[in-house]
Structure 1
Amino acid sequence: MLYLCLLFLTTTAAQIPSASQQPSPPTDIFLLAGQSNMAGRGGVTNGTLTHQPTWDGVVPPQCSPTPYILRFAADLTWVEAREPLHADIDFLKTNGIGPGMPFANAILMDKPGGRTVIGLVPCAIGGTSIKEWQKGSNLYNHLLSRAEASVLRGGKIKALLWYQGESDTENAEDSELYGGRLKKFLTDIRSDLKIPLLPIIQVGIASGEGEYKEGVRRGQFGIDLVNVMIVDALGLPLEPDGLHLTTPSQVRLGGLLAHAYRRFPSHPLATPLTNAAPISTIISTFLLSIWWIFTFLFPFVVNYFYLI
């Protein structure tokens, strides 16, 4: 409750500066939501003396800042993105490297120089369950309001990157119900954003706070919504806590997310998501087959039986 009160004060009390004080608005906007591994704990370990979580401050080249990657701050302004992306969002925790910056830098490489500005909208909160993200909850409303505010100066929401589920591994019931709850959340957020086919990339969890990880993973991989993909974090190295991805793992995950995003049809480098042919192609092939049968095959059969 204390967190939610502070979050409300942080996001509503700040005054939005004039447009002249802000950088150019982004053209392509990506929502980052979920829990701690999306917020980023790469490089965060307990200090040997204080036993308090500290970030080592190491920023890999794939996470380097650029004027063409912006971050939507807690005060609803666009600023140049720098690690840790979630420092003013998941502010009750110690944040480090997450997948957002390596994802954005990878996507930026696909775009014409100087014509694309990527906007990242951090919304992830560590330690949260899927029940806390359902429609009507504070976290859901926070995500929705930040998403809506992010497009007020222009730009288009291109995708939602979702990494959550570790908290739902603590008991069997939450684990088994995860898939249905996740599907409802994704369906609701698309509906409320009025983007029914919004591309969504979720991350298959690599770890969990409890013993029921496999139930959550079954729910994740069982989602049957259009334009929803999954990349698997299983096997990526973890920090000593056994729960959070290391900095190199987060960099790798950012690349996997970028590769998945490139497969969506709206992306300039997209390849087909499935091998299914369009209905027009199917109809044309069927009609062509009928024409071939009556033009070539049918006369041949008639002549054959006539000769017999």
Structure 2
Amino acid sequence: MLPLIYTYLVLSSALHLADATPTKSIFILAGQSNMSGRGGVVNLTWDGYIPRQASSNPTILRLSSKLTWVVAAEPLHKDIDTAKVCGVGPGMSFANSLLRKDPSIGVVALVPCAIGGTNISEWVRGGELYKQMIRRTKAAVNEGGIIRGLLWYQGESDTLNIEDAQAYKSRLHRFFLDVRADLHLPLLPIVQVALASISGPYTNMVREAQLGLKLVNLRTVDAMGLSMQQPENLHLTTPAQVSLGKMLTNAFMRIGHRKS
């Protein structure tokens, strides 16, 4: 029989290691192509360039399409937004920036859900995109971790006709409330992005809806003025995605995530 003091030391060491295991801080990445990431994609080919600010880090994980955690690397949405070529998005820059500003956040665990070209009506509760996002998020929590926030960048597809643009604010409001309700997180921090591109004739109407929406623990960062890929003038460049990631971090931290 092992001496009691030895048994005590072994158990104490095990408990210490368990307590030292970093918590997964889970962030949902949802929306359309600029969240999915098209930085560096030209003529349907990604140039493969990954800036230092978007580089891999053992403390940044990504939930794969198979619902397993893997070390995150660009393109984050390569097995999610499979109909298009993916490049650099804001997620890795966000995660690296957040870890620099608050190392105590633990492991940053990203849940990519964005699909290019999607209208907000396709994200309605009960729709396939919505169900997949909720399913993936709940799977992420089942593996251990705490949902810290939703990062949302969408709206270009709603600038093309007047009906979608007029309905955008109410649809967006309902979407955010539904996500919070279905995740049982009424104060879930949300950071959304106001459009950077002039996509359709009703872009200003959608931007006004985004900038004018008010909810507790919601922050909006304005991407207008960030550099766009040419000649399309629709998707953010790789440097712009890096800048956006840092903007998302600053906005999230202003919410006061430790109180959420």
TM-score, normalization by structure 1: 0.75
Structure 2 counterpart of 1:183 = 173
1:101-160 residue CA offsets vs partner (Å, 9 max, x unmatched) = 0000000113347x7111000000000000000111000001100011101121100000
Deviates more, 1:257-266 or 1:95-104: 257-266
Once the two structures are TM-superposed, the CA of residue 208 in structure 1 deviates from its matched residue by 4.3
Cα distance in 2 between the residues matched to 1:128 and 1:238: 19
How many residues end up aligned between the 2 structures?
239
Structure 1 residue runs of 4+, over 6 Å off? Answer: none
CA separation in 1, counterparts of 2:103 and 2:189? 22
Letter in 2 for 1:247: T
Aligned equivalent of 1:41: 38
Residue 211 in structure 1 maps to residue 204 in structure 2? no
* Counterpart-to-counterpart distance in 2, 1:25 and 1:143: 24
**Aligned equivalents of 1:26, 1:253: Cα separation in 2:** 25
Which of 224, 248, 251 is 2:239 aligned to?
248
SS at structure 1 position matched to 2:138: helix
3-state SS in 2 of match to 1:161: strand
Q: Using the TM superposition, give the Cα deviation of residue 25 of structure 1 relative to its aligned residue in structure 2, in angstroms.
A: 8.0
| Counterpart mapping for 1:111-126 below 5 A | 111-112=102-103, 116-126=106-116
**Contact 2:111–2:137, Cα closer than 8 Å, also in 1:** yes
Percent same amino acid at aligned positions? 54
Structure 2 spans left out of the alignment, 5+ residues: 1-20
Deviation of the 1:26 alpha carbon:
5.3
Counterpart of 1:76 in 2: which secondary structure? coil
Q: Which residue of 1 aligns with 2:229?
A: 239
Deviation at 1:173, TM superposition (A): 1.5
1:29 aligns with 2:26: yes
User: Counterpart of 1:109 in 2: which secondary structure?
Assistant: helix
Match of 1:78 in 2: 69
Alignment of 1:161 with 2:158, yes or no, is no
Kindly indicate whether the alpha-carbon contact (under 8 Å) linking 1:204 and 1:221 is maintained by their aligned counterparts in 2. Answer: yes
Give the Cα separation in 1 of the matches to 2:75 and 2:152: 17
Q: 2:192·2:221 contact (CA, 8 Å) conserved in 1?
A: yes
Distance 2:136 2:106 in 1: 21
> Paired residue for 1:101?
92
1:168/1:152 Cα in 2 relative to 1: closer, same or farther (>3 Å)?
same
How many Å separate the matches in 2 of 1:139 and 1:25?
Answer: 30
Deviation at 1:27, TM superposition (A): 1.5
For the pair shown, which has the larger CA radius of gyration, 1 or 2? Answer: 1
Flag structure 1 segments of 5+ consecutive residues without an equivalent: 1-23, 47-52, 271-308
Aligned to 1:88, which of 79, 86, 107?
Answer: 79
CA distance in 1, matches of 2:51, 2:220: 25
- Mapped contact 1:167–1:208 kept (Cα < 8 A): no
What is aligned with 2:164?
A: 174
Indicate if the aligned counterparts of 2:218 and 2:255 stay in contact, CA closer than 8 A: no
1:264 aligns to what? 255
Larger relative contact order (Cα-Cα within 8 Å, sequence gap ≥ 6): 2
Using the alignment, how far apart are the partners of 1:159 and 1:37 within structure 2? 18
Q: What is the Cα deviation at residue 172 of structure 1?
A: 1.2
Higher alpha-carbon deviation: 247-256 or 104-113: 104-113
Aligned alpha-carbon RMSD (Å): 1.6
C-alpha displacement of 1:207: 1.3
User: 1:241-279 CA distances to partner (integer Å, 9 max, x unpaired)?
Assistant: 1100000000000000001111122249x9xxxxxxxxx
Is the contact between residue 25 and residue 78 of structure 1 (CA under 8 Å) also seen in structure 2? no
Structure-1 separation of matches of 2:243 and 2:144:
30
2-side partners of 1:267 and 1:248: how far apart?
29
- How far apart in 2 are the matches of 1:208 and 1:39? 19
Other structure's SS at 2:151 match: strand
| Distance change in 2, residues 1:42/1:99 (3 Å) | same
